[in-house]
Structure 1
Amino acid sequence: MSLKSVTVLTTYLIYASIVAKSAMDPYKALNIILNPNGTLTRLSIPPQSPPSPDPTLPTAVLSKDLTINQSKHTWARIYLPHKALDYSPNTNSKLPLIVFYHGGGFLFYSANSTYFHDFCVRMANDTQSVVVSVDYRLAPEHRLPAAYEDSVEALHWIKSSNDPWLRHADYSRCYLMGESAGGNIAYTAGLRAAAEVDQIKPLKIKGLILIQPFFGGTKRTPSEVRLAEDQTLPLPITDLMWNLSLPVGVDRDYEYSNPTIKGGAKILDRIKALGWKVAVFGVEGDPLVDRERELVGLLQHKGVQVVGLFYQGGRHGIFVGDPSMSVKVFDLLKTLH
């Protein structure tokens, strides 16, 4: 039996036990089927939105799709405020650059998913920024670190791109942002980018915006226990997402899942020296909130400039799904500009 077959079998056995205890089938809840070859059949595709590249249309934000790596089928959707076309890209009117990584437990969604497309449109318009939303490879077909590699590759692609829309971006004011699994990706891509600051010039990362970042660990946190049967993100689903996305043979205390393991990444000292600012958004109604607080505590301990912005109530995904909460993210961005 191959290693992949053993992994698939192990996955079934682990989650048969979880389902028996929780009376919940995470596969059914997510509407997916795990195939014998380790791929997923996704029985429902979230709504998608086309780009709006035509500058003659009365839209506040233009958008278009560009290929990053054809062999990996990775691409990005670029968002440009329409007002930027009124100015030459060679003037002092250049806009901040936000590189955004979508969420979805590493298994779902894309840069053209309506849920994230609408958020990026609002963000580009509200903050008057150029937004590059990266479409990375998904697990389990491409387990981590594939998404991290794609996300860093996107930074190298941006810095060498000749696309006229990107000429409106101020590469010296670049922020990496992600929501949920995308927040995990933004954090890890940031760690990797910190080791490559000379290679990604003229891109100059100023900070990380982590919106309810998806992290885990083998020991349950109080918020995970308190919200174990949360309707939005119950434990059987988060456990399954990790099992399908982490490298074969590791558990949730691996560095991709648990950023606090072994005292945190050594490269955080570099992030401190670079003066990056980090913001972590969370809500008390999210089972992941204690993980997010742990990350804030780690960064504080390492001397990184970090702010934790936590709100009462809420749910996982609220900062993207609820425009009134999205504004809290946009308002912070405007203070950073």
Structure 2
Amino acid sequence: MILLTMVTAFSIYLILIHASMLANSAMDPYKALNIILNPNGTLTRLSIPPQSPPSPDPSLPTPVLSKDLPINKFNHTWARIYLPHKALHHSPRPKLPLIVFYHGGGFIFDSPASIYSHDFCIRMTNATQSVVVSVDYRLAPEHRLPAAYEDSVEALHWIKASNDAWLRHADYSRCYLMGESAGGNIAYTVGLRAAAEVDKLKPLKIKGLILIQPFFGGRKRSPSEIRLAEKTIIPLLITDLIWKLSLPVGADRDHPYSNPTVNGGDKILDKFKVYGWRVAVFGCEGDVLVDRERELVKLLEQKGVHVVGKFYEGGRHGIFVGDPSMSVQVFRLLKTLH
């Protein structure tokens, strides 16, 4: 039995191939995640996820170019921009849809440079012929929520004010927010915040949200959490620890950052309907989080939001990003939105 000691982009499941090999009753979630909580509240992350450098050189025969740009030097946040290579050679240059992507990692791991997220963004850029901006954000517990949300909203303002040549290929009137796992949670919350300040974001115009197995929770266990408690590669000890490390100190899993359905949902959701935003939620029955995702779809339906739930049999957490054959399902939907 091989223990996975290298953390690959989380999406929670990749970390927990290692964790699933331990008996849930005896598992130390810190050891499973290969982290040490220090007395000052910071983490020592004992494994560095595999990283991929950007490929900005247009002379190389690659279908997708990528480069890194700083967003906030004080917070050390940045973004990786992806551009279809052929976009450089079209005349006149067509405007391409803009996808703002937020990576997973349970709020405590990873960055846009992680191979797992990087490879997905390359495939997405090529398959959908879009400009993709993969956003870096500060990690918990050093920077607890809402830090990741604040950084992610700041990225939208940075995009709209940027004079970067690659971003000039993007059609700012066709912007979609996308995230996977913790990034799906972030994309949802950024959507709420963006809906409250649409005028400040112009000319950036959000058209919809694509939430891939978004990471949500709650104090009361959902049926899928109970059903898959001993069959999942995401033990509840792990998800509970992640919320403990990520939420504001003293908050529980019914905090709105974790549970979007609490108190009937955020009132700003009414604006999703007013603005005509479209929302897609991807999930699968083998994911312990699937019932949380279904609850979100139900909430959005009750609010009159144009939402579609794309749920699949079997599977696991992380399958839509980690498995290229399932990534195609996301790309197909994106192309219908364009």
TM-score range relative to shorter protein = over 0.9
Look up the SS of the partner of 2:70 in the other structure.
Answer: strand
Deviations along 1:92-135, one digit per CA (max 9) or x if unpaired, are 71100000000010001101000000000000000000000000
Within 1, Cα distance between the matches of 2:83 and 2:24? 49
Look up the SS of the partner of 2:68 in the other structure.
Answer: strand
Candidates 23, 38, 41, aligned match of 1:38 = 41
Q: Which amino acid aligns with 2:316?
A: R
Look up the SS of the partner of 1:248 in the other structure.
Answer: coil
- The yes-or-no answer on 1:246 pairing with 2:258 is no
Within 2, Cα distance between the matches of 1:288 and 1:85? 41
Structure 1 position 21, deviation (Å): 7.7
Aligned to 1:261: 262
Alignment of 1:22-33 (within 5 A): 22-33=25-36
Does the 8 Å CA contact 1:100/1:132 hold for their aligned counterparts? yes
Aligned to 1:180: 181
Q: Which amino acid aligns with 1:324?
A: S
Look up the SS of the partner of 1:198 in the other structure.
Answer: helix
Within 1, Cα distance between the matches of 2:164 and 2:303? 38
1:21/1:59 CA distance change after superposition, 3 Å:
closer
Aligned to 1:287: 288
Structure 1 position 271, deviation (Å): 1.0
Does the 8 Å CA contact 1:22/1:236 hold for their aligned counterparts? no
CA RMSD of aligned residues (A): 1.2
Look up the SS of the partner of 1:63 in the other structure.
Answer: strand
Structure 1 position 226, deviation (Å): 1.0
Q: Which amino acid aligns with 2:225?
A: E
Within 2, Cα distance between the matches of 1:189 and 1:230? 32
1:230/1:237 CA distance change after superposition, 3 Å:
farther
Alignment of 1:132-281 (within 5 A): 132-281=133-282
Look up the SS of the partner of 2:198 in the other structure.
Answer: coil
Within 2, Cα distance between the matches of 1:335 and 1:42? 40
Name structure 2 gaps, 5 residues minimum: 1-21
Within 2, Cα distance between the matches of 1:278 and 1:190? 10
Structure 1 position 22, deviation (Å): 2.1
Aligned to 1:85: 88
- Percent same amino acid among aligned pairs? 82
Aligned to 1:72: 75
Look up the SS of the partner of 1:199 in the other structure.
Answer: helix
Aligned to 2:59: 56
Does the 8 Å CA contact 1:176/1:190 hold for their aligned counterparts? yes
Within 1, Cα distance between the matches of 2:292 and 2:187? 16
Does the 8 Å CA contact 2:96/2:169 hold for their aligned counterparts? yes
Look up the SS of the partner of 2:260 in the other structure.
Answer: coil
Within 2, Cα distance between the matches of 1:80 and 1:21? 43
Aligned to 1:119: 120
Does the 8 Å CA contact 2:232/2:287 hold for their aligned counterparts? no
Does the 8 Å CA contact 2:232/2:286 hold for their aligned counterparts? no
1:286/1:20 CA distance change after superposition, 3 Å:
closer
Query: TM-score under structure 2 normalisation?
Result: 0.92
Within 1, Cα distance between the matches of 2:48 and 2:176? 29
Structure 1 position 192, deviation (Å): 0.1
Alignment of 1:294-309 (within 5 A): 294-309=295-310
1:254/1:39 CA distance change after superposition, 3 Å:
same
Structure 1 position 172, deviation (Å): 0.3
Within 1, Cα distance between the matches of 2:196 and 2:139? 24
Aligned to 1:319: 320
Q: Which amino acid aligns with 1:206?
A: K
Q: Which amino acid aligns with 2:51?
A: Q
Aligned to 1:4: none
Does the 8 Å CA contact 2:232/2:288 hold for their aligned counterparts? no
Within 1, Cα distance between the matches of 2:299 and 2:68? 37
Does the 8 Å CA contact 1:280/1:309 hold for their aligned counterparts? yes
Q: Which amino acid aligns with 1:60?
A: P
Look up the SS of the partner of 1:225 in the other structure.
Answer: helix
Deviations along 1:271-302, one digit per CA (max 9) or x if unpaired, are 11000000000000000000000000000000
Look up the SS of the partner of 1:151 in the other structure.
Answer: helix
Q: Which amino acid aligns with 1:304?
A: V
Look up the SS of the partner of 2:154 in the other structure.
Answer: helix
Structure 1 position 87, deviation (Å): 2.3
Does the 8 Å CA contact 1:180/1:212 hold for their aligned counterparts? yes
Structure 1 position 324, deviation (Å): 0.3
Structure 1 position 229, deviation (Å): 2.7
Look up the SS of the partner of 1:77 in the other structure.
Answer: strand
